[in-house]
Structure 1
Amino acid sequence: MTFDKEPEVHIATFGFFTAFIWEMLQMPFFDVGSASSWENTLGCTRATFGDAAILVLAYTMVSVLKRDRHWMHRPTYGKIGIYLLTGIGITVIIEEIATSVPTHWGWGWRYSDLMPLAPGTNIGLVPILMWIVIPLISLWFARRQPQP
């Protein structure tokens, strides 16, 4: 087994780098209070590790359900749908919790006035959009890597 040719490694790697860019670009949609630029960067980095883990979990969910670790090379609308919905589902849960816990706990966040909310909820649309765009970009890059 060659570690660098495993699909989960590709998803995690490309997911990490694309998610970090998204995390940084979405900062105007969050209320960062008096946090410094460095603190914001560290926060985005921490969130990006979580994003990469969720991407791998979503990819693995499809792999288990379809019994095919290399499904990215034979994608179908159904497989991609499971992949996206897994990430979106996890994100909705995390956003609901993170925006309601007291920020002095050292975890959680608040939206700025710029954040559009999903109708009938307090969940931001930008994080939901992220879980459509970033998984698809990560999958696109990962599919172009050498197969084992």
Structure 2
Amino acid sequence: MNLTCFPPATPCFGTCDVGIVPLPLMSGTHILEQPPDLTLLTPRYNEAAVDFMRKQSRAGQPFLLYYASHHTHYPQFASAAFTNASQRGPFGDALLEFDHSVGLILNTLRTLGIENNTLVFFTSDNGCGSFFYFCLCPCVIHPLAFSLFFSFFVLHFQDEFCKKLST
């Protein structure tokens, strides 16, 4: 497959994805696009998130918005508005776009006048990536030393973090 992640036709970092079938973009049980255009995914998510928050706010209904961003996992990509926008390459561009998404969501809460009555949680599934992508796949370059340091840091301070959350 070898995804094209940056417009107009810059390929991702190699051939790791050859033979991988991409998941479709779905809404409920309806397939919207197969395979999805990854460069349009974040703008679509942003639009859906903002529309949902506006609708729930107008109806005076409490809501839970679960926004599972793909940034900054492989494949790294950004929409046209964020391509080549950073000095950090594809990773930096993806991170800038994610930062924009967070800002958009927080600004929407503020605009709707519900920011002071809303809990916002940021979580991550990050830790050490799979052995395949970190060690065997030449298309993803992540400093293993940082992963090991970060994993140590999280494990070392996990109890303290949990105590702070529970108080």
What is the TM-score of this pair, normalised by structure 2? Answer: 0.28
Kindly indicate whether structure 1 or structure 2 has the higher relative contact order, using CA contacts under 8 Å at least 6 residues apart: 1
Higher helix share: 1
Higher strand share: 2
Indicate the structure (1 or 2) with the bigger Cα radius of gyration.
2
What is the TM-score of this pair, normalised by structure 1? Answer: 0.31
